[in-house]
Amino acid sequence: MLTTKIIGTRITEARKKTGISQADLSEQLFISPQAVGKWERGESLPDIITLHRLADILKVDLNYFASGAVPNSTTDTEKVSLIEPTDEKSDKAKRLDWNMSNGNWVDADFSEMNNLHDRLSASNMKNCKFNGSDLSGLLLKSNNIDHCDFSHSMIHDCQFQRSNIANNSFKQAALNGSSFTSSYVYGCDFTGADLTDVSMKNGGFTGTKGKAATPEHNTIADAIWKRTSFVNSQLADLIIKGTIEDCAFESCSFTRVVFQDCTIKNTFFKHNNLKRVQFINCKVDRLTYEFLKIGKADLSGVEMMA
């Protein structure tokens, strides 16, 4: 019986036989390495357009993914078609392969959009609506994203690289597994967002640019902070509230950052100067307390949990 696990195994075997790494394959498909990993583990499936591209890159027939064949084999013992028979014209008509890269998108409503096939790089997006869209697995390079609304969107396993992300709403958005590399995020609303496994490296994460942290603009409340990590990042003008668990802050700079009414568990602080970080009515476990003490944090507003 054909399963996602079987197809994932086929992808893995063909990729290794071709000598391509997951990272190389993800670059050729313009998707994240995490998405390739999910396919190979049988946790998700590429859509039919991506399967065609996979077959070309891995030099196999499309039916290879549903058979017991090996790459470039002339025999195919378990032929199972992955697409329904159709004539060429109708097949092309069904394939919506829009390339939104290198575009200037202003005041557009893209709500509930999906199937972008990872083509949304080097674009200017301003005052656009992406409410309720599924943007999972996108690779976004060199974008300017300003005053856009991503509320209630699925933004799993995306890569934001060298992008400017300003004044956007990510309310109730699911950003699980997404990464921000050499990108600057400021003035954005992450109220209720899921930041599980989100990572930021060599970038900035700030509130309203150039303004001190005030509850009216810069509070991040009710967000899910779990295994969220910041490395070599600038954090500024933020008020953070809620539960922070299994997170990491390494070699970061903090300017006018306030942790207020927080419960902080098993969170790693390394090579940070925490003298300017303010903790108000926070509860921490012993391990986190020790990291804060080593970082010379003011612990007057910190209570260690039993």
Least confident of 24-28, 139-143, 248-252, 254-258: 24-28
Half-sphere exposure of 75 (CA within 13 A, CB side): 2
SS in 3 state form for the chain? CCCHHHHHHHHHHHHHHHCCCHHHHHHHHCECHHHHHHHHCCCCCCCHHHHHHHHHHHCCCHHHHHCCCCCCCCCCCCCCCCCCCCCHHHHHHHCCCCCCCCCEEECCECCCCCCCCCCCCCCEEECCECCCCECCCEEEECCEEECCECCCCECCCCEEECCEEECCECCCCECCCCEEECCEEECCECCCCECCCCEEECCEEECCCCCCCCCCCCEECCCEEECCEEECCEEEEEEEEEEEECCEEECCEEEEEEEEEEEEECCEEECCCCCCCEEECEEECHHHHHHHHHCCCCHHHEEECC
Q: Who has greater pLDDT, 63 or 286? A: 286
Comparing 118 with 81, the larger pLDDT belongs to: 118
Residue 116: its pLDDT value, please? 67
Lowest mean pLDDT among 25-29, 31-35, 97-101, 133-137: 97-101
- The confidence score (pLDDT) of residue 104 equals 87
Average pLDDT rounded to a whole number, residues 105-130 = 83
Mean pLDDT, rounded, of the chain: 83
Check residue 185 and give its pLDDT: 93
Classify domain 108-304 at the CATH topology level. Pectate Lyase C-like (2.160.20)
pTM above 0.85, yes or no: no
**Joined tokens for residue 295:** 């970082």
- Asked whether the predicted pLDDT for residue 84 surpasses 80, the reply is no
Of all residues in the chain, the percent with pLDDT exceeding 90 is 48
pLDDT grade for 110, boundaries at 50, 70 and 90: confident
Please say if the pLDDT value at position 49 is more than 80.
no
Q: What is the pLDDT of residues 165-204, one digit of tens each?
A: 999 999 999 999 999 999 999 889 999 999 999 999 999 9
Q: What is the pLDDT of residues 222-252, one digit of tens each?
A: 899 999 999 999 999 999 999 999 999 999 9
Homologous superfamily (CATH) for 4-94: lambda repressor-like DNA-binding domains (1.10.260.40)
> For residue 75, is pLDDT > 50?
no
Its sign, for the CA torsion 288, 291, 293, 299, is negative
Main-chain dihedrals φ then ψ at residue 59, nearest 5 degrees: 60, 50
- pLDDT surpassing 70 at residue 64: yes
Domain boundaries, the chain: 4-94, 108-304
Yes or no: say if 130 and 110 are a contact pair by the CB < 8 Å rule.
yes
Q: Is the Cα dihedral 244, 38, 114, 119 positive or negative?
A: positive
| CB neighbour list of residue 66: distance below 8 Å, 6 or more residues apart | 2, 6, 7, 10, 78, 79, 80, 81, 82
**More reliable by pLDDT, 20 or 114:** 20
- pLDDT-derived band at 101, boundaries 50, 70, 90: confident
What pLDDT band is residue 31 in, cutting at 50, 70 and 90?
Answer: confident
pLDDT, residue 148, reads: 95
pLDDT over threshold 80, residue 119: no
- Mean pLDDT, residues 261-282: 94
Residue 179 has φ and ψ, to the nearest 5°, of -125, 145
Cβ atoms within 10 Å of 303's Cβ, excluding its own: 12
Mean pLDDT of 144-150: 94
Range name among 42-56, 178-192, 285-299 with the lowest pLDDT average: 42-56
Of the candidates 73, 79, 35, 77, the one whose C-alpha atom is nearest the C-alpha of residue 54 is 35
Identify the band that residue 137 occupies on the pLDDT scale cut at 50, 70 and 90.
Answer: confident
Distance between CA atoms of 242 and 4, rounded to whole angstroms? 37
Task: Judge whether residue 158 has pLDDT over 80.
Answer: yes
